[in-house]
Amino acid sequence: MTVRTRPDLATLPAYVPGRSIPGAIKLASNEVSAGPLPSVVQAIADAATAINRYPDSAAVELTTRLSEKLGVPAETIAVGCGSVSLCQQLVQATCTESDDVLFAWRSFEAYPIVTHVAGAGQVRVPLTDGHVHDLDAMAAAIRPKTRMVFVCNPNNPTGTAVTTEQIEAFIEKVPSDVLVVLDEAYKEFVDDPDVPDGVELAKAQWAKGRDNVAVLRTFSKAYGLAGLRVGYAVAPPAVAEALRKVFVPFSVNALAQVAALASLDAEDELMVRCRAIVAERGRVRDELVSAGFEVPVSQANFVWLPLGERTAAFNEHCLSHKVVVRAFAGEGCRVTIGEPEENDAFLAAALSFNS
């Protein structure tokens, strides 16, 4: 007799991580090539002697530091095992099988997965022709069943971003009982002053009595801690409390908490590195555009090539040049901005494909 599992899981798409191929340059997972700073590595090594003890499940010290850094009360912060886990917790905390989650598409590929796992319905709203969130269409798609809306800003995988004015106008159209989640995994790479700081925007909304705006951030990208899995949500107290109720105990491990704290100590140094990545992003995009590729302006640590039916061929061409990119079949390729020499290798591959 076979153990019964949920039959609907047969239709659930698997999350597809970026490929790693020995000897190849990996530009598929939006990681920071340089890794964590030496001071962070040392903090992790020092903390490793105490891993026989359970971590602080409430992440009190990290929560306190984030509260001070962001200027928000500690009760508005929920720490999680990466922002993707917080995405799933948000669905679990707000939705039943009778409710829907709304998001743009294409956007972060975990959204439909975490929504399905939680048993909720999903509504996908196409991006504009410019590969940007169509906030007017998203507002129009909200129905009585809608409980939450994800706005990935900058958007993964296109790198495009919506402005403060656009998001504020969108929030005004959203019913007060629908949670708007600004997913800011790539916030540290934004250099457009019109793109909002989601926490500051949320605080302004809360001050106006709009308690349906939350923000997600992560230490995986700019802080170079993708392998340790730690992120956080900034949300109205009732939402943050609900997130903590559906949290898996001890899932943010002790080394992750120590590394996050050490990274906050080294934040100025980390931001210098982010600015270097932003400069490389501009260089890579300029060369691609000059070579005839369409490349939307990116505010993240990657660029998007909407190649359509040429995607598979481009992916294989890059692999033949020992460069691993992230291909979305029939749509396009997302390419992480790495170190200058890694970017040069990718550009050599891309330009020979389009020559």
pLDDT in tens, the chain (355 residues): 578 767 777 776 665 666 667 789 999 999 998 888 899 999 999 999 999 999 999 999 999 999 999 999 999 999 999 999 999 999 999 999 999 999 999 999 999 999 999 999 999 999 999 999 999 999 999 999 999 999 999 999 999 999 999 999 999 999 999 999 999 999 999 999 999 999 999 999 999 999 999 999 999 999 999 999 999 999 999 999 999 999 999 999 999 999 999 999 999 999 999 999 999 999 999 999 999 999 999 999 999 999 999 999 999 999 999 999 999 999 999 999 999 999 999 999 999 997 6
Query: Domains in the chain, please, with CATH?
Result: 7-36+268-353 (3.90.1150.10), 50-265 (3.40.640.10)
What is the C-alpha to C-alpha distance for residues 146 and 153, in angstroms, rounded to an integer? 20
Instruction: Evaluate whether 320 touches 22 at the Cβ level (below 8 Å).
Output: no
pTM (2 d.p.) = 0.94
What is the C-alpha to C-alpha distance for residues 96 and 106, in angstroms, rounded to an integer? 24
Residue 312's φ and ψ, nearest 5 degrees, are: -60, -40
Map residue 132 onto helix, strand or coil.
Answer: coil
